Amino acid sequence: MAAKEIFVEVRDLHKSFGTQKVLKGVTAKVYKGETLVLLGGSGGGKSVLMKHFIGLMAPDSGEVIVEGENISGMSERELGKIRRKMGMMFQNSALFDSMTVGQNIAFPLRMGGEKDEQRIERLVDESLEIVRLPGQMGKMPSDLSGGMRKRVALARAIVDRPACVLFDEPHAGLDPITADSIDHLVKDLQANHEMTNVIVTHEMRSVFRIADRVMFLKEGQLYWEGTPEELKAATDPELKNFIEGRSGEDWDA
């Protein structure tokens, strides 16, 4: 069996904010083509770790390696090339209310220097098709439901066809049916567009539906990692309490 290709690797990552130590020596790998879910309690370091993958945060010490390149200490200009490999869907969607849907989705392309308006329109159209919102370019974010806003945010994250998409709490504020639609899009990106997905979520139904691998962070350290099946079978009290406390529904539903 061929060895898995590593997309992102972090080595002995430390990060503090003032006197608060958020990451305390995390070492982890993200493999190409997988859907990796980051779990853990509030303040455990999940989102902070993920933001290091794309260079939105710099470690106090340790290394972040993206496709063989150590990005720790890179300039903003150098990081631009790395960030084009990844898209990020933020928890609150982070859409610009003064821009149309199409303008929001096109924003990263224009910021990246794209001048070809026909190419921009084509990529925006294709992204809306992928997230099941065709023909919505002219609408304003205020015209959209919460689930639609999430899908527009996802369209923006994938408009430049990144190799990896980072999701920060994509299910937050959504009803179960709408959350399910986000899960289907995540698996579609992986299966049909060969994208790697890294997801921070507390939605346990989604974890068991979409994850290939799970990492559990506790107090800034990697406490456990394995497959969803191994997580479901875990006897560790810390894991069992977290799962049972977060999931009120049948895992196999």
Residues 217-248: tens digit of each pLDDT: 999 999 999 999 999 999 999 999 888 874 43
**Among 230, 235, 191, 175, which Cα is nearest to 207's?**
230
For residues 45 and 9, the answer to whether their CB atoms sit within 8 Å is no
For residues 35 and 2, the answer to whether their CB atoms sit within 8 Å is no
Residues 74-105: tens digit of each pLDDT: 998 899 889 999 999 987 778 999 999 999 99
Fill in the amino acid letter for 74. M
| Domains defined for the chain, CATH in brackets | 6-85+162-246 (3.40.50.300), 95-161 (no CATH)
Q: What's the pTM?
A: 0.90
The 10 Å Cβ neighbour count of residue 248 is 8
Q: How far apart, in whole angstroms, are the C-alpha atoms of residue 103 and residue 139? A: 10
For residues 39 and 214, the answer to whether their CB atoms sit within 8 Å is yes
Task: Tell me the two tokens of residue 205.
Answer: 């139904």
